[in-house]
Structure 1
Amino acid sequence: MLTQSNCLSLSFFLFLISVLGIFLNQKNILIMLMSLEMMFLSISFSFIFLSIYLDDIMGQIFSLLILTVAAAESSIGLAILVVYYRIRSSITVELISLTKG
C-alpha cells in the first residue's frame, strides 16, 4: 500500500536521479533532455498524489498543464537535436557553442 511518505519519497528520489543525470552527464544532450523530462514527471507525480490526498482537483489540472508544456518542450528540443546532428554529425554538448549565430 502506498502511503503519503512513500509517494513523496519516490517523487523526490526520481527528481534527485534526474538532477544527478543532468550534472553527471554533460556530454550527451539526449540524456540531458531525458533527465529534464524525468524532472517534470516526478513533479507531476507529486502534484497528482497530493491532489488525491487532499481531495482537490487543482493538482491534477496543474499536472496536466506541466505535462503539456513538457511534451512541447521535448518535441522542440528533439527537432533542434535532429538539425544539429545533421549539421555536425554529433550530438555532444561541447560543440554547441560553435552554432551561435
Structure 2
Amino acid sequence: MMLEYILVLSAYLLSMGIYGLITSRNMIRALMCLELILNAVNLNFITFSDFFDSRQLKGDIFSIFVIGIAAAEAAIGLAIVSSIHRNRKSTRINQSNLLNK
C-alpha cells in the first residue's frame, strides 16, 4: 500500500478520537475514543517502521508497548468507571464530580 493512504487513515482515526474525546459526555465513550487515538499512533509506528527501515523492528516493538499500555489503561479505566457507576448511578462525566460530598 502507499504511504499516503495509511497516513490519511491514521489521521482520520486520530481526528475521530480527538473529536469524540472532546465532545463525549459518557466515560465509556471517552475511553473508546482514547483507544482510537492509541490505534492511530500504532498504525503510524508500524507504517513508518516498514517504510523507512524494514529490517529492524523498532516501530513494531513500540506498538507492542503501546498496546500493553492501552490494555492496562482500559482495565484500570473500566474499573474506575464501574466504581463510579456503583456509587453515583451514572457514567456521565459532568455528573461525576468526586470532590463534592
- What TM-score, normalized by structure 1, do the two folds share? 0.91
| Deviation (angstroms), 1:90 | 0.8
Could you give the per-residue CA deviations for residues 16-68 of structure 1, whole angstroms, max 9, x where no partner exists? 0100111122x111100000011001100110111111213101000100110
Report the equivalent of 1:20: 19
The answer for the alignment partner of 1:68 in structure 2 is 68
> Which structure 1 segments of 5+ residues have no match?
none
1:5 corresponding residue in structure 2? 4
The answer to whether the 8 Å contact 2:88/2:96 transfers is no
What is the total number of aligned residue pairs between the two structures?
A: 98
Q: Could you say which residue in structure 2 is the equivalent of 1:85?
A: 85
| Same amino acid, percent of matched pairs | 30
Aligned-partner Cα distance in 2 for 1:96–1:69: 25
In the alignment, the residues of structure 2 paired with residue 93 and residue 17 of structure 1 have an alpha-carbon distance, to the nearest angstrom, of 19
How well do the aligned residues superpose, as a CA RMSD in angstroms?
1.2
Give the Å deviation of 1:96.
2.0
Question: CA separation in 1, counterparts of 2:94 and 2:12?
Answer: 29
What TM-score, normalized by structure 2, do the two folds share? 0.91
Structure 2 stretches lacking a partner, 5+ long: none
Task: Give 1:77 shift.
Answer: 0.2
